[in-house]
Structure 1
């Protein structure tokens, strides 16, 4: 919303102009009503005494011209006084703006007529400091995550190498023991794959901000394709994906990026759903948005956690050794992509049901 920060300032300048003009008007009236004494009498005597009779006679003969010159001089002084006042005010604004770039708690203080500008500049400074701190924290968190992942990768990698060496160097290993070692190796390989995928999530974080290449696509076909890709994953917990979407429903999106959004939401639903449950995907349109709903059955997410669920590196399970969750970037990336499409994403959770609502605008905003 555009604000007229100078409205009060303009009113103040106008008041000063009116005040000086009124004073001048009173002064001129005074000269007019007391012309004989002020001009023809005392004033002419003053000129004669100090500047001589010739100059006094000239002033007496050109009375109207002198009065006009006095009026013009008063008007000029009026403008100069107000300009000096305004320049002082503006100079104070510029001197205070320097505080905007200082990373401290010092407030910007302006005159009362510019209080709206003062409040907004202080708010801008506060947000700038908070955003800078947030950026530093995110970078540090990213560095920490890479360090954690690099450390975590060593353990499953060492196990994979160790068990593979046992299998390779022991040709006459009993079948049951060989099967046990193979199973352990496979589990460690899966863990290694998951950690590597987290590395890719962090590496792709900056790619989220690349330009969009929008096209109209059938939502149902995109989700059906993703359903097939998720089949090996959801079959591990005997889960199902059920899609209830009109075949003719079109969305105008960057297909690859929107596929990442749906992929990240489905991964989250898979990890936090109960076994043998169904993940429901529905869609409908209102006057402004296409709503795409992902509903899964699992533990209810507390209100304090659901507020942070879209923050970078946030994990519902804070333990890094947990088998659920990843780097904590999936939902954050999804939110960023949806917002790039001028849409919104929100999550609600109650009575063991969690719903993600992806809202995409029907028309360009």
Structure 2
């Protein structure tokens, strides 16, 4: 950018010098042709005639006036002429600057517009034109992304509010039966209590998703880092998820290099791995194995979660880390959450100075977290 501004400055200096040189040439031509040159006599006769007509002097008196004004003050007239020429050059230079500022101001005004029309500036400002159009495109994409995220959030709130009614109605219904039928058989009462508890858990899950949406919009990520033995954290994570893995015949195998330690916020990093593993369990095949690995590579620590299941389409793979995006968008699905798990995971990893990514094909889906070895 500095180089381009320097080129513009050089071009403008060249234009000003060219105007100055042309003005000086014209000044010299005027002086040495009309005042003290080949056209001196016609010019003198014209001036004398004007003096005679305006002041009612005779011819010789007018010639004397002309001589005192022009012939005896050549240096002053030459200096006056150059001052006038310099003012003309200065005026043209300011005009160029003014036109550039006006063009840039109009370009900035169009930058705020929501139209798809490109910003057009003078040829000399082509680098600024490209920059403004690039910023305009980025702002439009950002605005579109925010609008889409807001729409997804609104849809989720509507869906969750609707879905809350179902378990709440069931809870009220079964509790009413238990309250009214005091002589209900123990087996039937136990069955109704189990159903009510199941619906209450589902209701709690939906309410937590509401809170998750609110927390995501209000909280800022503050890290409280410490040294963490990564293999131990991953083994503990796999053990904690056994109740979710066992009913589907799934297993979580951990293969981590010994002695790997990461300097990070343990609670937030555990939340990242929790969200990724929960996602892998929900979308992997029954009776399959989820492979969790961790290793050092150069100055990074790489943690990957590999599961076997239906491939994630490429167009959806680009969106899964956006807030409020649900891979399974079916309303009321047990696998679809608030669409914040992976978005929050990305924000936490980025706050640690790392990256998170995913690849997917017909054979497997792999989520990869890369953290700096020292940060």
**Please, what TM-score do these two structures have when normalized by structure 1?**
0.84
Corresponding residue number in structure 2 for 1:113: 124
Change (3 A) 1:5 1:362: farther
Residue 345 of structure 1, aligned match among 356, 361, 375: 356
Corresponding residue number in structure 2 for 1:10: 9
1:284 counterpart SS class: strand
Alignment of 1:196-207 (within 5 A): 196-207=207-218
Q: Is the 8 A contact 2:320 2:326 kept in 1?
A: yes
Q: Tell me, which stretches of 5 or more residues in structure 1 are unaligned? A: none
Corresponding residue number in structure 2 for 1:331: 342
Corresponding residue number in structure 1 for 2:21: 22
Residue 260 of structure 1, aligned match among 266, 271, 282: 271
Change (3 A) 1:84 1:178: same
Mapped pair 1:219 → 2:230: yes
Between 66-75 and 345-354, report the one with greater CA deviation: 66-75
Deviation at 1:153, TM superposition (A): 1.3
Between 18-27 and 63-72, report the one with greater CA deviation: 63-72
CA distance in 2, matches of 1:303, 1:3: 40
Deviation at 1:268, TM superposition (A): 0.3
Between 126-135 and 193-202, report the one with greater CA deviation: 126-135
Q: Is the 8 A contact 1:5 1:116 kept in 2?
A: yes
CA distance in 1, matches of 2:225, 2:50: 87
Corresponding residue number in structure 2 for 1:361: 372
Deviation at 1:148, TM superposition (A): 1.8
CA distance in 1, matches of 2:279, 2:360: 13
Corresponding residue number in structure 2 for 1:79: 90
CA distance in 2, matches of 1:59, 1:218: 97
Change (3 A) 1:342 1:60: farther
CA distance in 2, matches of 1:224, 1:122: 50
Q: Is the 8 A contact 1:159 1:188 kept in 2?
A: yes
Between 55-64 and 104-113, report the one with greater CA deviation: 55-64
Corresponding residue number in structure 2 for 1:233: 244
Deviation at 1:89, TM superposition (A): 2.5
Q: Is the 8 A contact 1:8 1:114 kept in 2?
A: no
CA distance in 2, matches of 1:3, 1:204: 43
Deviation at 1:47, TM superposition (A): 6.2
Alignment of 1:90-129 (within 5 A): 90-129=101-140
Q: Is the 8 A contact 2:250 2:288 kept in 1?
A: yes
Corresponding residue number in structure 2 for 1:311: 322
Deviation at 1:299, TM superposition (A): 2.0
Change (3 A) 1:128 1:313: same
The RMSD of aligned alpha carbons is: 3.1
Q: Tell me, which stretches of 5 or more residues in structure 2 are unaligned? A: 52-61
Change (3 A) 1:363 1:46: farther
Change (3 A) 1:212 1:46: farther
Change (3 A) 1:177 1:18: same
CA distance in 2, matches of 1:211, 1:229: 25
Deviations 1:110-164 (A, max 9, x none): 2121123223323333433443343233233323322221221121122123223
Corresponding residue number in structure 2 for 1:294: 305
Q: Is the 8 A contact 1:8 1:113 kept in 2?
A: no
Deviation at 1:357, TM superposition (A): 0.7
Deviations 1:309-332 (A, max 9, x none): 222222222212322121221112
CA distance in 2, matches of 1:106, 1:350: 39
Mapped pair 1:132 → 2:165: no
Corresponding residue number in structure 2 for 1:37: 37
CA distance in 1, matches of 2:298, 2:75: 74
Q: Is the 8 A contact 1:40 1:60 kept in 2?
A: no
